[in-house]
């Protein structure tokens, strides 16, 4: 009976650790709209149109949270980590829209369980 219990608990843990279902959307329309304006203001001078397609290919299989951390701690180059966390979130939502990820009803929320399970495809 003990082996069955361990196997059952392991199966539950593995299913909980799986990547979040990204088909329900990664960000909201409002987040992407706000993010576009912020991107133009804070990011465009270093990251022109088309920049993030290859970036996302290089990050394939990585957690979105890891990319967010790189952004939030290292950007903009002139003031690393100097923007409000919500600015980074909205900019990331715009970038996701720009590279073709689906929007949905749930907002992108760094630190949430769902966010921590999103994997770049």
Q: Quick check: pTM over 0.85? A: no
Digit-coded pLDDT (tens) for 36-86? 999 999 999 999 989 999 999 999 999 999 999 999 999 999 999 999 999
In DSSP terms, 63 is beta-bridged to 119
Paired tokens of 14: 């593995």
How many other CB atoms are there within 10 angstroms of residue 23's CB atom? Answer: 8
21-117 to CATH, choices 1.10.357, 1.10.10, 1.10.760, 3.40.1360: 1.10.760
Residue ranges per structural domain of the chain? 21-117
Query: What pLDDT score does 21 carry?
Result: 66
d(CA 5, CA 98): 45
In DSSP terms, 103 is beta-bridged to 27
d(CA 104, CA 22): 9
């Amino acid at each position: 009976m003990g082996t069955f219990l361990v196997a059952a608990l392991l199966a539950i843990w593995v299913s909980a650790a799986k990547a979040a279902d990204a088909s329900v959307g990664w960000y909201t329309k409002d987040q992407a709209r706000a993010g576009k304006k912020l991107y133009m203001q804070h990011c465009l001078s270093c990251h022109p149109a088309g920049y993030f397609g290859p970036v996302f290919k290089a990050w394939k299989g990585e957690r979105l949270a890891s990319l967010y951390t790189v952004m939030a701690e290292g950007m903009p180059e002139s003031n690393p980590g100097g923007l409000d966390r919500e600015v980074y979130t909205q900019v990331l939502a715009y970038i996701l829209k720009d590279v073709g990820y689906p929007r949905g009803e749930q907002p992108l929320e760094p630190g949430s369980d769902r966010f921590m399970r999103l994997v770049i495809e």
